[in-house]
Structure 1
Amino acid sequence: MNPTLPSASRTRRPLALAAFALPVLFAAVPAYALDGKWTPAQVLDIDARWLKRQGLKLPPSALWDDTRGTGLLTGAVSISGCTGAFVSDTGLIVTNHHCLFGVVQEHSTPARDLITHGFLARTQAEELPGSTTRVEIPKRFTDVTAQVLAAVPAGADPAARLRAIDAKQKALVSECQRQPDTKCKVAAFDDGVTYTLIESIELRDIRLVYAPPRAIGEYGGEIDNWSWPRHTGDFAIARAYVGADGRPADRAETNRPYAPEFFFPIAKDGLDEGDFVMVLGYPGVTWRALIAEEMRERRERFFVRREDLFGEWIAILERASADDAAGKIAVAANLKGIHNRYKNAQGQIAGLDRGRMVDKQGAQDEAVAAWAATNATHAGAVAARDGLRAVLAERERSWERDFLLNLVPMGTDSVAGGIPPLPKGLYFGATLAHNAIERAKPDAARASGFTDADQGKLRDRLRSEQRNYFAAADRRVFAALVRRALALPADQRIAAVDAHFAGKSPAQIDAAIDAMYAASPLLDIDTREALLGASTEALEARRDPLLAFGIAWNRDLRALRERERDWNARAALYRPVWRRAVAAHAGKPVAPDANGTLRISFAHVQGYAPRDGVTYTPFTTLAGVLEKHTGREPFDVPEAVRRAAQAPGAGAQRVNFLADGDTSGGNSGSPVIDGRGRLVGINFDRVWENVAGDFGFNPAVSRNISVDIRYLLWLLRDVERADGLLRELGASPD
């Protein structure tokens, strides 16, 4: 029931892209659409002749060298939960404005409002450090599927199987990290169809070089978010530094710019409709490997509840900070992220319904099951699907309770979907409690994120969240969470909430929370850091009411993690069996779901028709930026930009463009490169009709939105007069 899948690196099969050989599909999709977020190893499975016909001017081996385990793809780096791209041999990284927003926020004050006015370092000495910003550069990818699965004892039950797999992964990581300056992890694809050991280099000295004014970086705001036409300059530039010896180092005056092995030169010429492009990046989570019943849970429960909750949080944060300039700065990054996920939830619901995606997945599942039932190799897939259904049924019995508990992550984890941890007071307390319990274990037995090697990163995360803390807003979010927990049905209660707040009126809840915050030193960064090494007994002895609630919440959350571990163990047994049958039935390679690892999407520049009688062209221009200008947020073009835009021919400057790239969350900041490997754009969004693309690729509407790299160059040249930076980027200041 759990056969080992042959390694892609061992079993190369040139891919003729069977989907494009079927005449029926030619009638339904553009001749050059290709769905899939492909892993680096899979690039070499794609027919090189086909890629050349699409517009690739490089040999696929230039993108990925299977022998070295590296290639041009590694010019795309992971940065702050987003993607960035090296664009010079002096460590310059281009990414999205919203991906470096935290650094801008870190250095902003009411007196020096970089969020509003932007920032440009004209010399390296002026660059601003991001105290918690990190860049991970992929170094090598190794298929370890056979090694991981060989560690599972014969006849192991799901829990024992998962323990054996976890132990082997930790052993592989431990061995890998004996190399100097190397960070390692084992990534599972589709719950264990394959496992890959990923080696990377983490750079810790990252400095802000350029961020445009918010009126450019967020032009259109939430009105234009997830939509087209767009006119947003969502770009920013950072620089990575290393020690004088060329190795990763903490920030120091003696550090020097990092010289990457691979970087993307900026294209001198522009794009035309139909041009071939590639999107490289680190998409976070997609749900295409789910069976129909699991997709229905996402539609009917998950996104509905997120929309409801985030709408409430947005109102709280905006109301609490409305009359406080410092408060607005503190909540800005969190509010930006929640707004984005709020609209995403709405788009997911609309897209799932519009495309009848759950019903279509059900039909596909039935076809695979019927085929597998008659195929000896994949006959176990039918029972595997039943197993996935049973796990889902168990999850749904405590769904509402578990949803609330999972809103508060522990340590360096993120809540699914990338939302910020709120309320901060609860996050801080629960994280300290979890760290104390894990530190009592042998280092090798600790949960990911809480080992000795992780303590620095954990400390950085807590510091980062302190910058986003605004007491008035945090207390009100806390109260809202408590009220939701008190409304849970009798069989889904959260013990921590009942013990502290049961029977209290809304006014009494508010008063109790205000008292907890007022009495707690937990919100002081120095006190909290001193408690990172404290034992559970020492934390409890402080008799801090806010910390005590965090300890109790963590107890409930740890119990949930145990239940989730059982569910995950069973799903990890069933899902690979089912997904192998899906791939075999498809008769072609199937890209695994996104999991935060490096991927590439092949695409072409093209518009789309979102509904009857409407056709969108693939480019917007500076003239369109001015047409939207109202003088009020979010359409308030800075005066310097309006002045420069009056120059002859400036209105034709391209701003944003569409392509049919297969992208998702985490692709923010992804380099968009042409067939020669040159940077032509920076991905930052998807169109509204493609939000539900996380569940399936629809070539008619699957469009990603990128900012044209020449818009960045135009701003640097004609507005900022940043001659030195332009020369570093290989562009003429004239």
Structure 2
Amino acid sequence: MKKTLLLLSLVAAPALAGEGKWTPQQVLELDPAWLKAQGLQVPPERLWDPKRGTGLLAGAVNVGGCTGAFISETGLVITNHHCVFSVIQEHSTPQRDLITQGFLAKNREEELPGKGSRIQVPRSFTDVTKEMFAVVPAGADDLTRQKALERKEKELVAECEKRPATRCRVAGFDGGVQFVLIDSVELTDVRLVYAPPRAVGEYGGEEDNWMWPRHTGDFSIIRAYSAPDGSSAKYSPQNVPYKAEFFFPLATEGVKPDDFVMVLGYPGTTFRALLADDMAERQARYYPRVVDVYGELIRILEEEGEKDAAGKIAVASGLKGLHNRYKNAGGQLAGLKRGRIVEKQREAEAAVAAWAETRKEYAGALKARTELLSLQAEKAKTFEREFLLDMLKMGAKGPSLAVTLARLAQERAKPDLERRPEYMERELPRLKDRLEREQKNFFAPADKRMFLALVRRAQSLGEGERIAAIDKHFGRKYVEKQVSAKLNALYARSKVMDLAERLKMAGETEAQLRARKDPLLDLGLDLAAEVVALDELRDRRAGANVRLMPEWRRAVMAHAGKPVAPDANSTLRVTFAKVKGYAPRDGAFYTPQTTLSGVMEKHTGQEPFDVPGKVAAAAEAKKYGPWVDERLKDVPVNFLADADTTGGNSGSPTVNGKGQLVGVNFDRVWENVANDFGYNPDVARNVNVDVRYVLWLLDQVEDADGLLRELGVRKAASAQESR
């Protein structure tokens, strides 16, 4: 690592239980005696070597919005079933339904490549705060500030990515208190090795999602490949398994209550630094709107999918994502209310403000807070329009792809460093992957109904929030028969949903796209104009935020007088925890482990509690093998810990004090969903697949002898069985 800057000096042993998503460098500043007392059995320097800028933490890898973990030196990675669902879907047909049946590669030749799948292995972290702010002109307005910072970020990334097979990014911490350049090697040949049947990987479905007790085998195993010389390479039969420097051996003894564990990974976004008014806006408007809109889209996909077997496969991935965000939003609302989180934040904010008023050096923080509150009030005026415009960009495939093609053509006409980040040359392979992959997710009847629902909502907006492109193409008043006819004609006359034509469009100029006279493209071009204007507005807001938030955050941290881990931002973090249960409500207590017997107790033979036959047969015969927990007299399935996790931690390795994998994180409990806004030790619990359930399925159900030997546990299993 070239150089680093601590976000906060951690001089005392924190009495924070599981709270805190700590950066690798911060781990080295935690009191080693405290860590040892908690249960860490390896030196902190083994977790992270500041001289090399790497360590055991780098065994946790970024798997495209999720986390994974190397579990062998031969490139095997364990992550969540839902994190590789798109790969499973990609290779599924009604005749070979891997989603339902699951998949096991008997040898490496049978492993299935994932189109567009990538794994990023962290290599170094460099503080670039001074370099970033040095480019902001004196007296710059907010838009100029943001543009200057964005330009510098692009330059730093471009320089970093001159190294082959490298993926870099600049991450901001605490609203701009610090900027760090993260350098990772990117592996692009990723193949599916094992996925359990859906009825295992999603056991309990949406009914059990975010709930406890849980009995879900939400894990899959993939493998990263490299060229024979060890360098990253695209898929090729000549590629060899990637040799991982750091990996987590499997702890066949598992865990028990009160055991120390660590959860490593790439938590996405948390909101603990938000002002109370920002939190209140999410509670009053954003999450209710997600519940409303996503709920309607879910109903559409479910109804249309039931009418057609191929359609059901096509909508499966999108439906899964919508369900998760929908239920998450409900949990956020319940948790915000239950924990009085907004009220507590308002009280904490007032305490910091009162403290700052007595200290001249923090006068700027008070002024910054006042202006941040004003910005939030201004943003609230156009909330509905912005929400729907975002949904049109990401909801139905038709308008979403049309907008993408329009923006791609417009941005490609600019020099690379002047483009929006998502349309730079470095992103084009990902864009192409998406343009191809979405064909597998397209089911016309469902797509049209979703688009119709979004048009109806747009046509009901007030005068100050109209979406001009929708008014132009569908009129200002919603008459279902008329709008539906226009929409059907739009799809019928368009080539956007033809894969071959869409890929041609991706290489055309804006003039060429307009010359096609394609009605869906024309709509996309009109929507794109409004997207551009919204992007500029949001850039201006971002510039204001990076001007104001650091001032306020410095006061917050100074007032705290103790370690304050920064909000999650999809960078590598570790949280320390203990295996423990919790009391969800008065008079009830949940133990921290569930078992195979519990799986069978829930079994009804109907979704979402329909245990696959081969799993049920092994369970009913009590074929536990060496994976039985002597205390439980059963095979452990899931366990709880008080780790500080969020979205992005899906697939995170849960490891013991020796650095061995004991589980795979996949969820939080319902009472803990609002953990994104504030950590509550009473209910902060993450849900993990127990490694012994993973091994039981591979051993007693799948007879995956080769895979177990590669994982180094087959010999151990035989020894235990002989006792």
Question: In structure 1, what is the equivalent of residue 88 of structure 2?
Answer: 104
Counterpart pick for 1:455 among 421, 428, 431? 428
Is the 1:621–1:652 Cα contact (8 Å) retained in structure 2? yes
Q: Deviations over 1:641-686 (max 9, x none)?
A: 1111134473700000000000001110000000110000000000
Equivalent position of 2:143 in the other structure = 159
Task: Mark the CA change 1:378 to 1:235 in structure 2 (over 3 Å): closer, same or farther.
Answer: same
Picking from 242, 252, 277, the partner of 1:293 is 277
The reply to whether residue 715 of structure 1 matches residue 697 of structure 2 is yes
Relative to structure 1, the CA distance from residue 311 to residue 466 in structure 2 (aligned partners, 3 Å threshold; closer, same or farther) is same
- Tell me if 1:520 matches 2:494: yes
How many Å separate the matches in 2 of 1:621 and 1:376?
58
State whether residues 80 and 100 of structure 1, in contact with CA within 8 Å, keep that contact through their aligned partners in structure 2.
no
Q: Contact between 2:65 and 2:648, CA under 8 Å: does it hold in 1?
A: yes
Percent identity between matched residues is 56
Report the Cα distance in structure 2 between the residues aligned to 1:321 and 1:520, rounded to whole angstroms: 23
2:473 corresponds in structure 1 to: 500
Could you tell me which amino acid in structure 1 is paired with residue 507 of structure 2? G
Amino acid at match of 1:707: V
**Aligned partners of 2:232, 2:261: CA distance in 1, in Å?**
32
Q: What CA distance in whole angstroms lies between the structure 2 residues aligned with 1:158 and 1:487?
A: 33
CA contact (8 A) 2:47 2:55 kept: yes
Aligned match of 1:259:
243
1:444-476 per-position Cα deviation (integer Å, ceiling 9, x unaligned): 111112122221111012212221111110000
State the 1:8 CA deviation.
5.9
1:530 is matched with 504
Q: What per-residue deviation string (whole Å, max 9, x for no partner) do you get for residues 368-390 of structure 1?
A: 11111212322211111111111
In structure 1, the residue matched to 2:520 is 546
Deviation at 1:480, TM superposition (A): 0.4
2:627 match: none
Q: Distance in 2 between matches of 1:584 and 1:555?
A: 44
Alignment of 1:279 with 2:263, yes or no, is yes
| Matched residue type, 2:444 | A
Q: Distance in 1 between matches of 2:124 and 2:135?
A: 23
Distance in structure 1 (CA, Å) of the matches to 2:447 and 2:11: 53
Deviations 1:570-598 (A, max 9, x none): 11111111111111100122111111111
Q: 2:542 aligns with which of 538, 556, 568?
A: 568
Q: Which amino acid aligns with 2:97?
A: D
Partner of 1:690: 672
| Corresponding residue SS for 1:553 | helix
Among 693, 699, 708, the alignment partner of 2:681 is: 699
Aligned partners of 2:133 and 2:417: how far apart in 1? 20
One-letter identity of the residue aligned with 2:440: R
2:443 to 470, 480, 491: 470
Residue 14 (structure 1) shift? 4.5
* Amino acid across the alignment from 1:9: L
CA distance in structure 1 between the partners assigned to 2:75 and 2:226 by the alignment: 9
**Structure 2: how far apart are the matches of 1:582 and 1:8?**
22
Give the TM-score, by structure 1 length: 0.94
User: 1:628 is matched with which residue?
Assistant: 602
1:76-131 residue CA offsets vs partner (Å, 9 max, x unmatched): 11113111000001100000011111111001000001111100001000001101
Say yes or no: does 1:617 pair with 2:601: no
Select between 607-616 and 141-150 the one with higher mean Cα deviation: 141-150
One-letter code of the match for 1:499?
K
The residue aligned with 1:40 is 24
Cα distance in 1 between the residues matched to 2:140 and 2:511: 37
Secondary structure of the residue aligned to 1:241 is: strand
Matched, 1:364 2:348: yes
Residue number among 581, 602, 605 corresponding to 2:576 in the alignment: 602
1:127-176 per-residue CA deviation (whole Å, 9 max, x = no partner) reads 01101111111111111112212222333332222222222212211211
Letter in 2 for 1:623: S
Amino acid at match of 2:572: L
**Contact 1:277–1:603 under 8 Å retained in 2:** yes
Distance in 2, Cα, partners of 1:508 & 1:189 = 49
Confirm or deny: 8 A CA contact 1:387 1:571 kept in the other structure. Answer: no
Equivalent positions of 1:429-440 (< 5 A) are 429-440=402-413
Distance 1:617 1:627, change over 3 A: same
Distance 2:545 2:240 in 1: 47
- Superposed CA deviations along residues 243-298 of structure 1, whole A, max 9, x for unmatched, are 12211111111000000111111012121111110001111111111000000011
Instruction: Give the Cα–Cα distance (whole angstroms) in 2 for the partners of residues 200 and 408 of structure 1.
Output: 33
The residue number in structure 2 matching 1:16 is 12
The amino acid of 2:500's aligned partner reads D
- 1:146 maps to amino acid: K
**Any idea what the Cα deviations from partners look like across 1:354-411, whole Å, max 9, x if unmatched?**
11111110000000111112123222111111111111111111110011111244xx
Q: How does 1:50-449 map to 2 (within 5 A)?
A: 50-409=34-393, 421-449=394-422
Cα offset, 1:523, TM superposition: 0.5
The answer to whether the 8 A contact 1:187-1:196 is kept is yes
Q: Which runs of 5+ in 2 are unaligned?
A: 625-632, 719-723
CA contact (8 A) 1:219 1:634 kept: yes
The Cα offsets for residues 486-518 of structure 1, whole Å up to 9 and x where unpaired, read as 000111000000111114511111111111111
What is the CA–CA distance in structure 2 between the aligned matches of 1:423 and 1:212, rounded to whole Å?
29
- Please name the residue that 1:486 is paired with: 459
For residue 421 of structure 2, give the secondary structure of its aligned residue in structure 1: coil
2: CA distance, partners of 1:382 / 1:8: 29
Indicate the SS of the match to 1:406.
Answer: helix
CA contact (8 A) 2:252 2:691 kept: no
CA distance in 1, matches of 2:233, 2:18: 41
Offset of 1:34 from its aligned partner? 2.9
The more displaced of 637-646 and 599-608 is 637-646
What amino acid is the match of 2:136? V
Does structure 1 residue 660 correspond to structure 2 residue 642? yes
Q: How far, CA to CA, are the matches of 1:504 and 1:680 in structure 2?
A: 55
Q: Alpha carbons of 1:639 and 1:544: their partners in 2 closer, same or farther (altered >3 Å)?
A: same
Quick one: distance in 2 between partners of 1:135 and 1:8? 24
Aligned length: 705
Q: Alpha-carbon deviation of 1:557?
A: 1.1
- Across the aligned residues of Structure 1 and Structure 2, the Cα RMSD in angstroms comes to 1.4
